[in-house]
Amino acid sequence: MKVYSKIVDGKILISIEGSVDTTTASELHDELKKLRIEEMNSVEIDFSKTHYISSAGLRELLILQKRFNKGRIVAKNVNSTVYEVLKISGFTNIFDVLKETNDIDYSTYSFKEFLAKKVENYKDELILDDTISKWTWNDLDKASDMIAEDLINLGAKKGSHIAICGANSLNWIATFYAIQKIGGMAILVNPLLKASEICFLSHAGDIEFFCHGIGPWLKDDPEAFLKELINPEKSQIKKLYNITRPIDIVNKEVSIIAKNFLASIEVRNDDPCVMIFTSGSTGVPKGVLLSSYNMLTAAKCGHEVIASYDNDVMCLVLPLFHIFGLVASLTTAMLCNTKVVIAPRVKVDAIIELCDKFKCSIIMSVPTLLMGMATNSEYSLDKIKSLRFLGIGGAPVSEAQMLFLQSRFPNASFGIVYGLSEMSPVSITKRGDTIEHITKTVGRPIDLIKIMIQDVETKKECARGSVGEILIKGEFLMSGYYKTPIEKQDFDSDGWFHTGDLGYLDEEKYIHFAGRKKELIIRGGENIFPGEIQDLASTYKGVLAVQIVGLPDDYYGEIVGCALVFKNKEEFNEDDFKNYLKQHLAAHKIPSCICLYDAFPLLANGKVDVLSLKKDMISRMK
Give the pLDDT confidence of 332-356 residue by residue, as tens digits.
999 988 999 999 988 899 999 999 9
Is residue 278 in a domain?
Answer: yes
For strand 239-242 and strand 272-277, is the pairing parallel, antiparallel, or unpaired? unpaired
DSSP run (H or E) holding 150: helix 137-153
pTM (2 decimals)? 0.77
For residues 368 and 382, what is the distance between their CA atoms, to the nearest angstrom? 22
DSSP run (H or E) holding 501: strand 497-505
- Backbone φ and ψ for 552, nearest 5 degrees, come out as -65, 145
For residues 455 and 474, what is the distance between their CA atoms, to the nearest angstrom? 21
* Residue 453 pLDDT level (bands cut at 50, 70, 90): very high
Residue pair 550/527 in contact (Cβ under 8 Å)? The answer is no
| Mean confidence (pLDDT) of the chain | 89
User: In 10 A of CB 39, how many CB atoms?
Assistant: 11
**Do 192 and 223 belong to one domain?**
yes
Is residue 331 in a domain?
Answer: no
DSSP run (H or E) holding 432: none
Interval 199-206 mean pLDDT: 93
**Do 590 and 449 belong to one domain?**
no
4 has a pLDDT exceeding 70:
yes
331 has a pLDDT exceeding 70:
yes
CATH number of domain containing 543: 3.30.300.30
* Residue 90 pLDDT level (bands cut at 50, 70, 90): confident
For residues 338 and 247, what is the distance between their CA atoms, to the nearest angstrom? 23
**Do 258 and 373 belong to one domain?**
no
For residues 319 and 165, what is the distance between their CA atoms, to the nearest angstrom? 11
**Do 494 and 609 belong to one domain?**
no
Residue type, 309: Y
Is residue 373 in a domain?
Answer: yes
pLDDT of residue 281: 43
Tell me the per-residue pLDDT of 567-589, one tens digit each, with 9 for 90 and over. Answer: 888 899 999 999 999 988 878 89
Interval 181-206 mean pLDDT: 93
**Do 57 and 202 belong to one domain?**
no
Query: Per this entry, what is the length of the chain?
Result: 622
**Do 540 and 491 belong to one domain?**
no
Interval 380-388 mean pLDDT: 95
300 has a pLDDT exceeding 50:
yes
pLDDT of residue 118: 95
Is residue 203 in a domain?
Answer: yes
Which of 197, 143, 195 is CA-nearest to residue 171? 143
pLDDT of residue 340: 97
CATH number of domain containing 386: 3.40.50.12780
* Residue 621 pLDDT level (bands cut at 50, 70, 90): confident
**Do 64 and 35 belong to one domain?**
yes
- Cis check: omega of the bond before 425, within 30 degrees of 0: yes
Interval 69-94 mean pLDDT: 84
Is residue 330 in a domain?
Answer: no
Q: Which range, of 187-191, 437-441, 504-508, 528-532, averages the lowest pLDDT?
A: 528-532
* Residue 220 pLDDT level (bands cut at 50, 70, 90): confident
**Do 138 and 245 belong to one domain?**
yes
Beta strands in 229-355 (DSSP E): 239-242, 272-277, 287-291, 313-316, 339-342
pLDDT of residue 81: 81
156 has a pLDDT exceeding 90:
yes
For residues 291 and 310, what is the distance between their CA atoms, to the nearest angstrom? 29
CATH number of domain containing 43: 3.30.750.24
Residue pair 97/309 in contact (Cβ under 8 Å)? The answer is yes
283 has a pLDDT exceeding 60:
no
Q: Which range, of 241-255, 282-296, 485-499, averages the lowest pLDDT?
A: 282-296
Residue pair 347/373 in contact (Cβ under 8 Å)? The answer is no
Helix (H, G, I), strand (E, B) or coil at 17: strand
**Do 547 and 573 belong to one domain?**
yes
Is residue 138 in a domain?
Answer: yes
Residue pair 307/78 in contact (Cβ under 8 Å)? The answer is no
103 has a pLDDT exceeding 70:
no
* Residue 558 pLDDT level (bands cut at 50, 70, 90): confident
Number of structural domains the chain divides into = 4
Last residue of a domain, one of 252, 273, 289: 289
Interval 47-65 mean pLDDT: 89
Last residue of a domain, one of 495, 517, 539: 517
For residues 603 and 411, what is the distance between their CA atoms, to the nearest angstrom? 30
pLDDT of residue 525: 65
Is residue 87 in a domain?
Answer: yes
99 has a pLDDT exceeding 70:
no
Which of 518, 221, 174 is CA-nearest to residue 330? 174
Q: Which range, of 27-31, 307-311, 478-482, 544-548, averages the lowest pLDDT?
A: 307-311
pLDDT of residue 604: 64
Could you tell me which residues are beta bridge partners of residue 212?
165, 242
**Do 254 and 117 belong to one domain?**
yes
**Do 160 and 252 belong to one domain?**
yes
280 has a pLDDT exceeding 60:
no
Is residue 351 in a domain?
Answer: yes
279 has a pLDDT exceeding 70:
no
**Do 476 and 531 belong to one domain?**
no
227 has a pLDDT exceeding 70:
yes
Last residue of a domain, one of 517, 537, 561: 517
Residue range of the domain that includes 506 = 345-517
Which of 206, 118, 135, 207 is CA-nearest to residue 174? 135
CA distances from 582 to 533, 534, 537 (A): 11, 13, 11
CATH number of domain containing 204: 3.40.50.980
* Residue 398 pLDDT level (bands cut at 50, 70, 90): confident
246 has a pLDDT exceeding 50:
yes
